[in-house]
């Protein structure tokens, strides 16, 4: 075997070793770094605020429904809390100790839950809210909510499910959007899309949309 052939064989062997090593590391990254008991402990902890079935909680500070939520959205929001791009005095403490694998596992758990919405919104506002959701408000440059969140408000990918969400939670988030979201303008995410929309809605319109969404299963 000539020198060039030996070099070629060595290069091929080294490349193969590097690729196998990278594949092994990627495989290790995909493996859970926690036990089933640890995951259940985190789920139980989440339940203390978000409800036994992830249905949310009405209160002075409404806590959102996580049941049926898009996993990508949950993971993105946990990351936003960790990076201080989304402001919440409780959720940073909760999120920053979660590994990426644990975040994914929790997101998948809540996606699979499907309790009935808690309800409580004013039913007379539902028709107006449905119209805004489906058609938007052209005069205020507010697009149809359905264009991102889907015709049934089930969400898709990074765009969250809104169907069944607590009406008071939706109201509080939209009227306080710029105080809680987009806290790092140099590192925006999909929430940046919502800022002009939230500002383009009156409080009565927000209540109407929230009532409609709360009525959906």
Q: Is the pLDDT of residue 2 over 70?
A: no
Residues above pLDDT 90, as percent of the chain: 81
pLDDT reported for residue 32: 76
Q: How far apart are CA 23 and CA 7, in angstroms?
A: 24
Q: How far apart are CA 186 and CA 192, in angstroms?
A: 11
Q: How far apart are CA 121 and CA 118, in angstroms?
A: 9
Q: Is the pLDDT of residue 194 over 80?
A: yes
Q: How far apart are CA 213 and CA 164, in angstroms?
A: 6
Residue that terminates a domain, selected from 82, 111, 140: 111
pLDDT reported for residue 64: 98
Report the CATH number that the domain containing residue 65 is assigned in CATH.
1.10.760.10
Q: Which domain holds residue 102?
A: 36-111
Residues above pLDDT 70, as percent of the chain: 86
Do 106 and 177 lie in a common domain? no
pLDDT reported for residue 29: 47
Do 209 and 148 lie in a common domain? yes
Mean pLDDT calculated for residue range 39-52: 97
Task: Please say whether the beta carbons of 53 and 113 come within 8 A.
Answer: yes
Do 132 and 209 lie in a common domain? yes
Backbone angles phi, psi at 179, to 5 degrees: -85, -20
pTM: predicted TM-score of the whole model, two decimal places: 0.84
Mean pLDDT calculated for residue range 186-198: 93
Q: How far apart are CA 71 and CA 155, in angstroms?
A: 10
Q: Which residues of 178-198 are buried (b: 16+ CB within 10 A; e: fewer)?
A: eeebbeeeeeebebeebeebb
Instruction: Evaluate whether residue 19 is within a structural domain.
Output: no
Do 127 and 204 lie in a common domain? yes
Q: How far apart are CA 97 and CA 217, in angstroms?
A: 32
Number of domains in the chain: 2
Residue that terminates a domain, selected from 60, 86, 111: 111
DSSP letter at 193 equals G
Size of the chain in residues: 217
Instruction: Evaluate whether residue 85 is within a structural domain.
Output: yes
The first and second tokens of residue 44, run together, are 């139980």
DSSP string, 81-94: HHTTSS--TTHHHH
Instruction: Evaluate whether residue 139 is within a structural domain.
Output: yes
Q: Is the pLDDT of residue 190 over 90?
A: no
Angle between helix 71-82 and helix 100-111 axes, rounded to 10 deg? 140
Task: Please say whether the beta carbons of 177 and 184 come within 8 A.
Answer: no
CB count within 10 Å of CB 25 equals 10
What are the tens digits of pLDDT across the range 110-168? 999 999 999 999 999 999 999 999 999 999 999 999 999 999 999 999 999 999 999 99
Q: Is the pLDDT of residue 51 over 90?
A: yes
Q: Which of 130, 113, 121 is nearest to 166 (CA)?
A: 121
């Amino acid at each position: 075997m000539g020198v060039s052939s030996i070099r070629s064989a060595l290069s091929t062997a080294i490349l193969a070793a590097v690729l196998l090593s990278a594949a092994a590391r990627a495989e290790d990254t995909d493996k859970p770094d926690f036990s089933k008991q640890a995951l259940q402990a985190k789920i139980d902890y989440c339940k203390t605020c978000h409800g036994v079935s992830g249905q949310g909680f009405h209160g002075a500070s409404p806590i959102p429904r996580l049941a049926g939520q898009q996993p990508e959205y949950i993971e993105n929001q946990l990351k936003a809390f960790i990076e201080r791009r989304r402001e919440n005095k409780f959720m940073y403490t909760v999120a920053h100790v979660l590994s990426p694998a644990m975040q994914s596992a929790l997101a998948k758990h809540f996606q699979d839950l499907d309790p009935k919405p808690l309800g409580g919104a004013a039913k007379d506002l539902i028709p107006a809210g449905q119209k805004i959701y489906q058609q938007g408000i052209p005069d205020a440059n507010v697009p149809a909510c359905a264009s991102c969140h889907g015709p049934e408000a089930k969400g898709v990918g990074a765009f969250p499910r809104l169907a069944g969400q607590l009406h008071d939670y939706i109201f509080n988030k939209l009227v306080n959007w710029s105080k809680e979201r987009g806290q790092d303008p140099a590192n925006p995410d999909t929430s940046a899309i919502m800022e002009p929309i939230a500002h383009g809605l009156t409080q009565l319109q927000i209540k109407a949309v929230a009532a409609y969404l709360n009525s959906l299963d």
